[in-house]
Structure 1
Amino acid sequence: MLVSALLTSLGINSGLCVLFFILYSILRNQPSNYEVYVPRLLVEGNSKRRSHFNLERLIPSTGWIKRAWKLSEEDILSSSGLDAVVFMRVITFSLRVFSFAGIIGVFVLLPVNCMGTQLHEIDFEDLSNNSLDVFTISNVNSGSKWLWIHFSAVYILTIFVCYLLYHEYKYISSKRIAYFYSSKPQPRQFTILVRGIPVSVGSSVSESVESFFTEFHPTTYLSHMVVRRTSKLRSLINEAKTLYKRLLHLRSEPSQHKYIRIGFFGQKVDLVDHYEKKLEDIEQNLRLEQSDLSLADETRAAFVSFKSRYGAAIAFHIQQSINPIQWITELAPEPDDVYWPFFSSSFMRRWMSKLVVVVACILLTILFLIPVVVVQGLTNLSQLEIWFPFLKSILTITFVSQVITGYLPSLILQLFLKIVPPIMEFLSSIQGYISHSDIEKSACNKVLWFTIWNIFFATVFSGSVLYLVNIFLEPKDIPAKLAVAVPAQFKNVYMPKYETAGKFWPIVHNSMIFSLVLMHAISIGIFTLKKLSIASTLVFPLPVLTLLFNEYCRKRFLPIFIAYPAEVLMKKDKEEANDPAMAEFFDKLVTAYQDPALLPIRYSVNSNSLNSPLISSADV
């Protein structure tokens, strides 16, 4: 890519960035968009619509940027939870790494690269038509002593990133413990999920759970809630929600739009009345389905609650049965975090789903190579002229060639990438996870690895060595091949539905460790190609030390992100032992994990008679 193409891309992206900032600052002030930009303030009553026209709404301002950055960590923690704090720290962590690496790259490595003569001399009078390769390590002469500066940069960057990782892991771990101490009692802290429940002939799942935990956990067991198959109920509820949204839309329209004629000569029908009657029928069918739930609808899974956090932790960590595939325990998510459709699947179906997801991810990764190869072809004018000879006359126009090689590839790639996260989230949802947060964490990992393999490796190889098939047959040459190719706002939004207390941070840590090791592998290949074998040898300890550092962090901090220690649980239990509010909490805990599909819905006008609970705690 030429410098001029890069500058064109930078100019276009900068202009779009300014345009989007202006549009955001205008649109966020329009009353019709309050549900999008400030829904929390509307719900809390801290913001009201202003119906009268105001010219200031149409004038862009930058005040919202200052207000966004003025929020302290304590403000974010109190309003949006620890997950929001961790997300902001991920952003600041990335900015620190980028800034440090950018300073070294621009003010240290770039001048060294420009001083090289491996490719050709830089024509500063015609800088825009120079290839970007002359600014990379490719331009440094083989065997040059200047390469030791690059070697030092690898060590310095590794040490700096590891220091930041350790600091962040330690800080977020301490915040996780502090957040636990300061938080109110949460249902998930007292509850575990039990699967693989054995049931004897003539008894129900509920009776088996009651008998088992009354016998083996008599002092700590509180209650349980058996999970039922409610996929049919869920489809009826979704249908009712869709119909209710149509009703709300119809009621807001003019009266002449609320009628429809049945047939050519039929009478007009009031759509509002029609949909209300249909909604009442759905609610009646839903209630009948709910009342018809039988023992056959029970799954062999249940949420079991205890009288203390420590009691729940003991039940979670200890194997419950001689048979390890029975009475399997795992930590329960928050009630609002439970992914209920998961429980409707059998063990074999979940196992097959995992296999299908693995195959689907592999196929998606392979298929995505097609747009990656096309995009890489756009960055090479000579290759583009071979593919599309009829465009040769157009490609001779300077501005057109700069846009095509500098901006169009990234635009196309980003458009294709937009479809990846929803696909990965769907694949994760059928993989057998019991919570929305686990699904999102799994989707994050899938997107991360997809990006690494398709955007980094595939882009690199497709640009220069994609057609060298023997690279896959000689893994020892991968660092050398890479060495050749590489140089060539929370306050106003919705309240979080669930809180993981920073459990996403280990994903960031692991991805940075992988990036460091990958950088070391590329550095070894570069120094080998540049005939500086001593530097290649001296880089070898870095990936080893980095992996040892990662193992230390896994032993030191990761257990805190999996489960809270007994010391913390018992201290919290003792603090709340004499709290009179705990009695009310335990009363609510009995029904906290009731499937929402079993609750009555209240959409239609005549739904007041449907407000009584369908299944009492005594029935479960």
Structure 2
Amino acid sequence: MDIPALLTSAGMNIGISVGMFSLYSILRKQPLNVNVYFGQRIATGRTRSDNICFERFTPSASWIKKAWDASEEDIFACGGIDAVVFLRIVVFSIRIFAIATILCTFLVLPLNYFGQGMVRLEDATAMDLLTIGNVREGSRWLWAHCFTLYVVSACACTLLYFEFKNVARMRLDQVNRFPTRPSNFTVLVRGVPWSPVESYNESVGKFFSNYYQSSYISHQVVYRFGAVQQLMEDAEMVYNVMTTVPVKQCCEPNANPDRCGLCGARSNSFKVVGHEHKCTGQKVDDGLREKECEAALVFFKSRYDALVVSHTIQSADPMLWVTQLAPEPRDVFWQNLCVPYNLLWIRKISVFIASIVFSVLFLLPTTFVQGLMKIQRLQAAFPFLRRVRDRSVINLITGYLPSLVLTVFLTIVPPLMMLFSTLEGAVSRSTRKRSACAKILIFMFWNVYFSNILSGSWIERMGKLTVTSPKDLATLLAELIPRQASFFMTYVMTSGWSGLSFELLQPVPLVGNWLFKCVLMRDDDFVRPITFSYHTEVTRVLLFGLLGFTFCILAPLILPFLLVYFFFAFLVYRNQIMNVYYVKYQTDGSYWPLAHNATIFSLILTQVVAGILFGMKKSSSASTSTIPLIIGTALFNVFCKNRFLPLFRNRAAQVLIEMDRDDQRSGKLDEIVEKLPSAYNQVELCAEMMEEKEEPPPEKPKKGSDESLKDLEIVKPDSPSGESLEDVEIVKPGSPSESGEQSPQVEIEPDSNIVSIK
């Protein structure tokens, strides 16, 4: 790719980004789009006190200032620890690549340009002159590249250490911040053995009451997901019958209210019927037994007891009575709890094979993309392509079109990897999303990075690319990576810059909301609060980190493009987390180890490629000096894993025991334990999931109330001036503000587009 093609791609992406950003600043002020751009704030009932007015049809940058001024506590209040960790990944990228950009732009890039190593090469382009390939063999200038590599690696490891330490501390603070989490007292049991004489419900109760008599409270058997709807219908039928029967006939003097639960005052009475089988006789008991799964949730009296049980092998057969700490109630993926535990390994192998097959098939799109970039070379082999002679068309095809086509093809990867993670049998939604994130990351590293490098070089050499050993592959990568820098620059602009503008604009919910309300004339809401797509955004940031590290000394021109992306990603994602995305479950910062491993891989790959390139340039001393750097980076990775990674895999017994003692002394422990059985009510949770109700989690220490948009009050205005919707306070009718005074109300005039505050 030459410079005119790169400038064509840059111009188109800059135009798209500026247009989308300006359009967003206008659309977010319109009352019709409040559900699209303020779903998180509406769902959590949060308010704002600033009343700065802006013209509703004039582009403004007020959202940038608000995103910049938000503190880490504000981010945590809106998105939880996962949002904070994700933004820490972005901040880490900004810091390290700011250092790399300064060093490489003023030290490495001039040396590459004046190296004069490609004077005799006929196929060298202006972009190739800015890479390390233009440095002469045996040149002493290569020591500047080696010095820069040492500085970047040392800074990256230092920043990684402090970030890992801070995230581990935040993860420990989560336990103290949410002491009443039901998952701290609950153990998920899978692989319950089948018995011809006992139901799963009876087997679980008998086993844990026998071996954990002092700490066991109760349990709840998991039912097949397809049977939940039938249970809900049965509950509704029983409720309708009981409401038509006089109270005296239901609650007789000799009747025991606790026996049935329908006559007492308990709100979860149907749950008791479903799991205790004491009320409806043998017929219903047999019907429920057929719907039981070999999994159960077991509740214990203390956090420490649950921790010990979850980390203990319960029987001589490790495939039976398998225990782990249960996910949070809203995080449980009920469908996969019914998957037999002894079949999970088959599912994982099948998913692994399917992932490999998909990665191999995806070589076709990557080869096609590289063919578009090398269209000038393909014209020599395919005469029908010689018809394309217009220079502007060629610049468009080679500069902008390849990255656009690759970005479009990559849109099918996240949903497919999410499907693979579901088939693997993840028992929680957060685990499923993190597993999908790992799969997408591996896929991106191979199919976006390595496959494009190899396929592009294969097309450039017209099929004469041969690799016979790992040494040949390493040498080939060292030679070919700098020549692909121009393609990855355009990919950063298309997938990064333009991708951020589409992320900000939310085109699919926006168009759907307009069609729903303006065309179909519906009064209810089309857009519901959505969760943040960590499995796609984390992988994009880490992929760009791989590009930044591997090209920092090989082709430094890519660094300014990456730095622009990371800076705007910091602002855009902060805005989206505070206003759009809604938190339903957390992974407690589990994405950071994934980011740490990806960064270490990127560093070691950069060091290995640099060492090989130094050797190819006949600078044996510079090549040898990279060996201690590789060893030091690997040892640093081992140190961090031994120091911090156990905190992400286990919970500290010391902290849990102290919390149990404090709750025991204050009398809160018994109150917490009494609420455990009702927390994991499968009927209610599955009904909520099937109805797609997005309610805020109860553990969230936020301000405001949990109200949906339909409960908000809209009244007529008095003010003639327009308000930006980010400055509007949304409240439920009659609800007091935190100060005890009546909160202002949103006012929208039907015949105009003015939004004001009363």
Deviation at 1:495, TM superposition (A): 3.1
Q: Determine if the alignment matches structure 1 residue 365 to structure 2 residue 364.
A: no
Tell me: CA distance 1:514–1:563, structure 2 relative to 1, closer, same or farther (3 Å). Answer: same
Tell me: CA distance 1:361–1:93, structure 2 relative to 1, closer, same or farther (3 Å). Answer: same
Deviation at 1:118, TM superposition (A): 0.9
Q: Determine if the alignment matches structure 1 residue 564 to structure 2 residue 651.
A: yes
- Cα deviation code 1:125-178 (max 9, x no counterpart): xxxx95210000000001100011111122111111111111100011111112
CA distance in 2 between partners of 1:474 and 1:45 (Å):
61
* 1:265-280 correspondence to structure 2 within 5 Å: none
Task: Show the counterpart of 1:401.
Answer: 394
Tell me: CA distance 1:596–1:112, structure 2 relative to 1, closer, same or farther (3 Å). Answer: farther
- Cα deviation code 1:345-400 (max 9, x no counterpart): 23465333222211211111111111111111222242242465444343x32322
Task: Show the counterpart of 1:554.
Answer: 641
Deviation at 1:585, TM superposition (A): 2.8
2:419 to 404, 414, 426: 426
- Cα deviation code 1:575-609 (max 9, x no counterpart): 222345544432221132232478768999xxxxx
Task: Show the counterpart of 1:15.
Answer: 15
- Cα deviation code 1:175-216 (max 9, x no counterpart): 111232122410111111111223444222222222222222
Q: Determine if the alignment matches structure 1 residue 524 to structure 2 residue 518.
A: no
* 1:81-480 correspondence to structure 2 within 5 Å: 81-120=80-119, 130-233=125-228, 293-347=287-341, 349-386=343-380, 389-394=383-388, 396-465=389-458, 467=463, 470-471=466-467, 473-480=468-475
CA distance in 2 between partners of 1:600 and 1:342 (Å):
16
CA distance in 1 between partners of 2:85 and 2:228 (Å):
37
- Cα deviation code 1:427-458 (max 9, x no counterpart): 11111111111111111111111111111111
CA distance in 1 between partners of 2:596 and 2:418 (Å):
21
Deviation at 1:115, TM superposition (A): 1.2
CA distance in 2 between partners of 1:68 and 1:462 (Å):
41
Task: Show the counterpart of 1:126.
Answer: none
Aligned with 2:188: secondary structure?
A: strand
Tell me: CA distance 1:425–1:462, structure 2 relative to 1, closer, same or farther (3 Å). Answer: same
Tell me: CA distance 1:80–1:141, structure 2 relative to 1, closer, same or farther (3 Å). Answer: same
Cα RMSD (Å) of the superposition? 2.8
Aligned with 2:589: secondary structure?
A: coil
The number of residues matched between the two structures is 542
Deviation at 1:567, TM superposition (A): 1.1
Tell me: CA distance 1:603–1:461, structure 2 relative to 1, closer, same or farther (3 Å). Answer: closer
Identity across the alignment (%): 41
Normalising by structure 1, report the TM-score. Answer: 0.82
Name the stretch that deviates more: 531-540 or 61-70.
Answer: 531-540
Amino acid at match of 1:592: A
CA distance in 1 between partners of 2:127 and 2:284 (Å):
67
Task: Show the counterpart of 2:2.
Answer: 2
- Cα deviation code 1:12-47 (max 9, x no counterpart): 111111111112112212222211211233234457
For the 8 Å contact 1:233–1:597, the answer to whether it is kept is: no
Q: Determine if the alignment matches structure 1 residue 515 to structure 2 residue 602.
A: yes
Amino acid at match of 2:398: T
For the 8 Å contact 1:220–1:308, the answer to whether it is kept is: yes
Normalising by structure 2, report the TM-score. Answer: 0.68
Structure 1: 5+ residue runs without aligned partners? 49-53, 123-128, 239-287, 605-620
CA distance in 1 between partners of 2:180 and 2:81 (Å):
16
CA distance in 2 between partners of 1:215 and 1:453 (Å):
51
Task: Show the counterpart of 1:253.
Answer: none
For the 8 Å contact 1:339–1:434, the answer to whether it is kept is: yes
For the 8 Å contact 2:477–2:609, the answer to whether it is kept is: yes
Task: Show the counterpart of 1:245.
Answer: none
CA distance in 2 between partners of 1:295 and 1:370 (Å):
50
CA distance in 2 between partners of 1:330 and 1:101 (Å):
43
Structure 2: 5+ residue runs without aligned partners? 234-279, 484-574, 692-758
Tell me: CA distance 1:173–1:389, structure 2 relative to 1, closer, same or farther (3 Å). Answer: same
Task: Show the counterpart of 1:59.
Answer: 58
CA distance in 2 between partners of 1:600 and 1:377 (Å):
50
Deviation at 1:237, TM superposition (A): 9.0
Q: Determine if the alignment matches structure 1 residue 534 to structure 2 residue 624.
A: no
Name the stretch that deviates more: 24-33 or 12-21.
Answer: 24-33
Q: Which has the higher contact order (CA 8 A, sep 6+)?
A: 2
CA distance in 2 between partners of 1:60 and 1:388 (Å):
48
Tell me: CA distance 1:413–1:447, structure 2 relative to 1, closer, same or farther (3 Å). Answer: same
Tell me: CA distance 1:293–1:142, structure 2 relative to 1, closer, same or farther (3 Å). Answer: farther
Tell me: CA distance 1:468–1:519, structure 2 relative to 1, closer, same or farther (3 Å). Answer: farther
For the 8 Å contact 1:76–1:491, the answer to whether it is kept is: yes
CA distance in 2 between partners of 1:191 and 1:294 (Å):
23
Q: Determine if the alignment matches structure 1 residue 577 to structure 2 residue 664.
A: yes
Tell me: CA distance 1:596–1:87, structure 2 relative to 1, closer, same or farther (3 Å). Answer: farther
For the 8 Å contact 1:28–1:34, the answer to whether it is kept is: yes
CA distance in 2 between partners of 1:28 and 1:132 (Å):
40
* 1:482-501 correspondence to structure 2 within 5 Å: 482-488=477-483, 489=575, 490-501=577-588
